[in-house]
Every structure is written in C-alpha cells, then in structure tokens.
Amino acid sequence: FVIFPSVRNKVLIGFIGLGVNSGAYVAEIVRALNNMARKKIGALIVFERRTGLGDVIESGTVVDAEISDPLIENIFEPNTPLHDGAMIIRDERIVAAACILQLSDDYTISRELGTRHRAAIGITESTDAVSSPWPETENLRAIWTRSR
C-alpha cells in the first residue's frame, strides 16, 4: 500500500487498527516522521497486532514509553545507540527500539528496495504486524503488510 501525505493520518489509524482515540498518537508519529524527513533521517516502525513480537522486542532495547514526537526523533537520530533497527509499537506505546528484523527471502522484490524495506516486508511474512519503512525524503510513504 502507498500512503499519500494528505490522507496518511486517517489511513494509519484505520489500517494499523489503532483505537478510536489514537489520533493524537498518529499525529505524534507523523510529526516526527515529517521532521525527520526534513533532516533526511529514515525510520522503520512496526505496529504489533494480534501476533506477539516478543522475540523481536528482545532483540532490541526495551523502551516502554508514551508515543511522542521528540522520543521518536531521538530514537532514530543517527549515531545514537537506538537509531539502527526497528521501533516497535504495541497498544499505543513504544515498547522497544533498535530491534532486529529478519529480512525477506522473497527474491521477486525489486532490487531497488534496500535493507530497511526488506526487513519491513520480512516481519510481515511471519506475523500479522504492520511494518512501515519511512525513507529519508519527504516523498510518498509505504506501509507493508500481508493478510493473515
């Protein structure tokens, strides 16, 4: 799926399956991603759904914090301990950062997609999570998921 900037807040709330009161959380995420895009900083965010991501969370650093623009920007700030890897969101909280995701083994995926996108696709191949690789630009954003 490709999310256009003009509709991304509403699409994220519905597509990820966050609660009715999630608008503020999504606004924080979108604000952080827009700020990072201006600084040419990318991100990989995974939204846990029904399938638990305990093993993935254990591969990173437990954060267990409220979703906020400054925290998200700090997590993905280059050359800091948490910037490399995925940030995991569960129940409208940031539960972990710097998590390692298995890359997709699908060789039909375009060679133009890098490691971040392959990791985003990989997590959706074994779970019902929604993964979101955000590029270092202000262009279109992509969200990957597989039906489960």
pLDDT tens across 108-122, in order?
Answer: 888 888 888 889 889
Average pLDDT over residues 41-45: 91
What pLDDT does 146 receive? 54
**Which residue is associated with the tokens 């990072």?**
36
Count of CA atoms in the C-beta half-sphere (13 A) of 73: 15
The predicted-structure confidence for 64-117, as pLDDT tens digits, reads as follows 999 999 999 999 999 999 999 999 999 889 999 999 999 998 888 888 888 888
Looking at the DSSP assignment, which residues form a beta bridge with residue 65?
A: 94
Residue that wins the pLDDT comparison between 138 and 57: 57
3-state secondary structure of 140: coil
124-129: which pairs have CB atoms within 8 A and are 24 or more residues apart? 126/102, 127/49, 127/51, 127/53, 128/49, 128/50, 128/51, 129/46, 129/47, 129/48, 129/49, 129/51, 129/53
CB atoms within 10 A of CB 27: 15
Q: What is the mean pLDDT of the chain?
A: 81
Q: Model's pTM, two decimal places?
A: 0.82
